[in-house]
Amino acid sequence: MKRPRHYWLPALSFVGMVLLPVAVLVGDIHSRVSFISVLILEAILLVLFAVVSFMLSGNRQRVAVFTLPIFLVHGYLIFRVPSFVQLYKAHMYLLLAQVPLLLYLGIHACSWPFRETLENLYLRQKKLMDTAAIFSLLLFNGLLFLWAPVSLHITDLNSMPFPFLSLLLWHVLYFIGAFTVLFVVYRFSSRLVRPVLLWFFFAMATAAWIYVYLLPGDYGVLDVTILSRPGHLRVFSQGVNAEYLKLSALEFTGLFLFFSLAAIVVFRFPRKALPIVVVLNLMTVGQSLFNLGTSDGLLKAGYSSYGEVFIPENSGRAFRFSTRGNIVILMLDMFGADLLPDILEQYPEIRDSLRGFTWYPSTLSTGITTYGSLPSILAGPEFTPDRVNASDETLLEERIHDAYAYYPTVSHERGYDFTFVHPDYFNMDEYDDDELVTVVEPRHYAEYWMSTSEEAANLNFGMNPEQYVRLFSVIGFFKTSPHFVRPFIYLDGRWLLIRRIYYDVKHAVIHLGLIDLLDSLSYADEGLPTFKFISNELTHMPWAIGSDLRLQDNRIGDHIFDPQYEIDVANPDAVYFSAVRAMKEIASFIEWLEDENLIDVTKIVIVSDHGYEGIHRQWTELPVLKDEDGNIIMGSSRVNSLFLVKDYDSRSQFNIDKRLMSIADVPSIALSKPDNPTLDSAESREIVVSFTRSHPRDHGPYKFRIYHQFAVNGDPADPENWRYIHQ
């Protein structure tokens, strides 16, 4: 009697594979799609597990030992996040956990209709297939945990925080552990699936080798733990576009064809598989050993006495000031204006440093998030969310690009030497060869600051050699992965499976280091006037400045629950002390300008794109903002931006001007344009405050998505002056 083939099993596995790109690409636009996709995939996995366990009567325990713990992980990922239904990122973490089980059960399901052929093939080529599987695993795990990470270590010995031999030992242990696990899976699998496992191992190993050596991608350099040119890796923070979808589909098709070719090699010409993986192993090991042997100072790396730290080549232009005039805009992300009165009262030295400044306490943000508000700081009122949405059909990305290009364009027209520090959302690569424009990334100075600062020397980031090796193993996973998988591994400066606390403190290090270096690296000459836009996130969460105003080893709690208004608000201490430290660093910079006789030829604007999420400390009649139905939206400190201005030759006492202002007034004030609102007496004006999402992918192709909007006339502390605009 002919045994049933059960061809529906491979079909079911194929449906599961198709759901992967659907969940990733379509789900990024509609989170409901990714939610439904991962739930369907979980149901498919449960069906496959039940059917495979029933059919493989002699191997049920082996299948259960491998699959049941993974199902428990799936349950944890589903129920650990209360908002799992809407959260795309949570869907993606579950998807990553589903892939190994889909492969394992899918291999069993696809093998079953061809069980006689596969078993006969394995019995004929048993020794050759087992050997090819071993060499495939050696190649794949070697690239992932050993050769790719070690090669990356030796490219920058100055950055190695631990002795090389201790790191190498941990890499070897990771390599042995991973190899052992996969070999045990192969060794204890039935003869039915071993040829299919060999095909999978062979295809994965050769594909990984191709991605590492032939298709590595251009992501710049690894600076500290951040890639200098993330490129398409920003897709989950900036949104999926048509080009990304096209390239992902093309790559997915290419991988399908490659795996098909690997199947032909393994199942039709199995004797060809072994020499291929042997040769690739020899090439990889040979090149890696050559690199190790020719690396000078390798055994000395990681010790405190080794090497010196260099600052970026463009530091000379970035920190240059001119005796002929300077414009400096300091943009302190998330600095709430309501913090300033307490700071000036408790730290009189900061108030003294602000001689000649005027503070505008009634300044409103235009977008309450950086993505919505920064364009108006860069280019004026035409780039506020409400004006952008009212304009003609120009792509939103192009409008924001135009905003980023405004200051460089003006600098060319007026003959300024322009510097842009920390251009969030746009990398401004187009200015790489522009002699009048310098683009600075604060992270490029973090390593230098950490090596020269006494404060940094006393820090303990809590990363031991094993954790450091884990980070570089994740980077090895990144290098061996297809390009459409890499955004899951590296996202917004964070690497998969690395403790968040390390990144949180690093975030503070990066931004504190840059403004702390302003008074030590800066110098003056008689060259072109300078114009500097310095964006800094020390005042943005995650906060890591303690009550002693020094950097902490651990992040400080971001939010607490306010029982009076029943909303989450920013930790008042975390917000306050970070703001104080930022103002102290600015005070030191102002003192340097005075010492260099530059203060009178320098115009300074200190502004924030928006405030923090909290209850306003002075607006007692408007502690929170509510929608038209009376529902609380958030604390009102979020919309009150810091705005301080010191004009040329200004030596007056610190002054307060309570006229209604907008952060969109920055360009006209900084550039002394005729529409500067401070040139005339305070007049009645209306400012629109839009509540926008923080990530570009949450907006439309042509317009900002605005979920609340207010029009404000007069004193913003008076709730009667706020009018809700229905969306």
pLDDT of residue 634: 94
pLDDT of residue 307: 46
* Dist CA 302 CA 306 (whole Å): 7
Instruction: Name the residue with higher pLDDT: 295 or 205.
Output: 205
Percent of the chain with pLDDT over 70: 87
| pLDDT category of residue 305 using cuts at 50, 70 and 90 | very low
Measured N-to-C along each axis, helices 8-21 and 31-55 cross at an angle, to the nearest 10 degrees, of 150
Measured N-to-C along each axis, helices 194-213 and 126-142 cross at an angle, to the nearest 10 degrees, of 30
* Dist CA 113 CA 5 (whole Å): 4
| pLDDT category of residue 160 using cuts at 50, 70 and 90 | low
* Dist CA 548 CA 114 (whole Å): 70
* Dist CA 92 CA 107 (whole Å): 22
Percent of the chain with pLDDT over 90: 51
Instruction: Name the residue with higher pLDDT: 157 or 130.
Output: 130
Contacts of 459 (CB under 8 A, 6+ apart): 450, 505, 509, 551, 553
Residues 540, 610 contacting (CB under 8 angstroms)? no
Residues 483, 251 contacting (CB under 8 angstroms)? yes
| pLDDT category of residue 501 using cuts at 50, 70 and 90 | very low
User: Mean of the pLDDT values across residues 625-650?
Assistant: 95
E strand segments, 203-319? 222-223, 226-227
pTM: 0.70
Give Cα 646 to chain centroid, integer Å.
34
pLDDT of residue 257: 95
pLDDT for residue 487 is more than 80: no
The total number of residues shown for the chain amounts to: 727
Domain boundaries, the chain: 1-123, 125-308+464-498, 315-450+507-724
- Range from 256-260, 281-285, 564-568, 581-585 carrying the lowest mean pLDDT: 564-568
pLDDT of residue 557: 66
| pLDDT category of residue 222 using cuts at 50, 70 and 90 | low
Q: Is 709 helix (H, G, I), strand (E, B) or coil?
A: strand
- Sign of the CA dihedral 203, 209, 210, 211? positive
* Dist CA 104 CA 64 (whole Å): 12
Closest CA to 466 of 173, 719, 201, 246: 173
User: Mean of the pLDDT values across residues 460-489?
Assistant: 77
pLDDT in tens, 318-374: 999 999 999 999 999 999 999 999 999 999 999 999 999 999 999 999 999 999 999
For residue 438, the cross-strand partners are 419
What Cα–Cα distance (Å) separates residue 543 from each residue in 424, 444, 456? 18, 20, 16
pLDDT in tens, 83-122: 777 777 788 788 888 888 888 888 888 887 888 888 899 9
pLDDT in tens, 30-55: 778 888 989 999 999 999 888 887 77
- Range from 222-226, 508-512, 515-519, 520-524 carrying the lowest mean pLDDT: 222-226
pLDDT of residue 672: 92
pLDDT for residue 3 is more than 50: yes
Instruction: Name the residue with higher pLDDT: 27 or 287.
Output: 287
* Dist CA 392 CA 616 (whole Å): 37
CATH topology of domain 315-450+507-724: Alkaline Phosphatase, subunit A (3.40.720)
